[in-house]
Amino acid sequence: MSVTMQETMEAIRKYAPNFYPKVGIILGSGLGSIAEQLTHPVTIPYQAIPGLITGGVAGHASLLIMGYLNDVPVVCMKGRLHLYEGTSVEAVKTFVRIIKSLGAGMLVTTAAAGSLREEVGPGEMMLLSDHINFQPIHALVGANDESIGPRFVSMENAYDEELRGIMLRVAGGMGFTLPEGVYISVMGPAFETPAEIRAFRTLGADAVGMSVVQEVVLARHCGLRVLGVCAITNFAAGMRHEKLTHEGTLHFGEIAARKLTKLIPEFIKEYNRVTV
């Protein structure tokens, strides 16, 4: 039997009836340490939330955490749902729409990604400016609920230009290099072939991963502004001789996470200051 959004939110509100986040954050592989900075946290396992499921990928804890980051109320999704695990699109819809339904107006989505640019290596960060959907699916296929968003949603400013400007200002002030780039999303779970990477570079992609795009489409559909930032964990297939592994993804994700752990709280602080 399908679960309604009302049932989902009623379950969450039992834990935090009067909590209304300003920002939602999706934490990708190896990036869960950002949630550890939250003060007054309220933690809910995904399996306790109707309509969600628990992911099975290492580095994803499957916890919804509500709390304060630099005194700004936020909700963190510590661990995402991946379509390559057999997750239904309906569960991904619920995953994103929880953030909107709680009251947030903006989503920060983070992810581990492979670099397609020689000058941006493992352990660095990349600010997303656009995306290419190379997954054989689109989250908005099927009947549309006009109470959530329009049938045809514009993706021209999917990665909000104003939010990117704030992030670049904050990063520059902290001495971080933060190149911008286009993210291409593939289905996974196999890593890409060298031939695919050559094709993706021709298409104009700068980073490759197995997530982000469906979340961003759903976020824009329900009216959330979006900022996307990647932890670069490896050079994509064929660009170097090293073997690609998930363990390596987590290792270099942790290096990049040390930077993101400092950068994202400062971004949220500045975002809150300029949007009050």
Whole-angstrom distance, CA of residue 15 vs CA of residue 12: 6
Q: Which of 19-23, 206-210, 219-223, 260-264 has the lowest mean pLDDT?
A: 260-264
> Tokens for 270?
């500045």
CA-closest candidate to residue 62, choices 72, 48, 83: 48
At residue 32 the predicted structure's pLDDT band, cuts being 50, 70 and 90, is: confident
Q: Is 211 a catalytic residue?
A: yes
Is residue 98 classed as helix, strand or coil in its secondary structure?
helix
What residues does 182 pair with on adjacent strands? 130
- Look at residue 272 in the predicted model and tell me its pLDDT: 96
The predicted-structure confidence for 86-134, as pLDDT tens digits, reads as follows 988 999 999 999 999 999 999 999 998 999 999 999 999 999 999 999 9
Q: Single out the catalytic residue among 61, 246, 266, 270.
A: 246
In this predicted model, which residue has the larger pLDDT, 29 or 8? 8
Region 210-228: what's the mean pLDDT? 97
Is the preceding peptide bond at 136 cis, omega within 30 degrees of 0?
A: no
Is residue 225 classed as helix, strand or coil in its secondary structure?
strand
The whole domain housing 122 covers 5-275
Angle at the Cα of 96 (from 116 to 17), degrees rounded to 5?
A: 140
What residues does 63 pair with on adjacent strands? 45, 78
Q: What is this structure's pTM?
A: 0.93
**Counted domains in the chain:** 1
Q: Single out the catalytic residue among 211, 215, 219, 271.
A: 211
- Contact present, 252 and 125 (Cβ < 8 Å): no
- Contact present, 10 and 61 (Cβ < 8 Å): no
Q: Is 88 a catalytic residue?
A: no
Q: Single out the catalytic residue among 33, 61, 84, 266.
A: 84
The yes-or-no verdict on residue 253 having pLDDT over 80 is: no
CA-closest candidate to residue 168, choices 125, 225, 213: 125
What residues does 113 pair with on adjacent strands? 232
Whole-angstrom distance, CA of residue 198 vs CA of residue 144: 36
Whole-angstrom distance, CA of residue 251 vs CA of residue 240: 17
Whole-angstrom distance, CA of residue 244 vs CA of residue 53: 28
Q: Is 82 a catalytic residue?
A: yes
- Look at residue 65 in the predicted model and tell me its pLDDT: 97
CA-closest candidate to residue 84, choices 61, 56, 58: 56
Q: Can you state the angle between helices 5-13 and 89-102, rounded to 10 degrees?
A: 50
Task: Give me the CATH number covering residue 155.
Answer: 3.40.50.1580
Q: Is 126 a catalytic residue?
A: no
Q: Is 101 a catalytic residue?
A: no
Q: Is 246 a catalytic residue?
A: yes
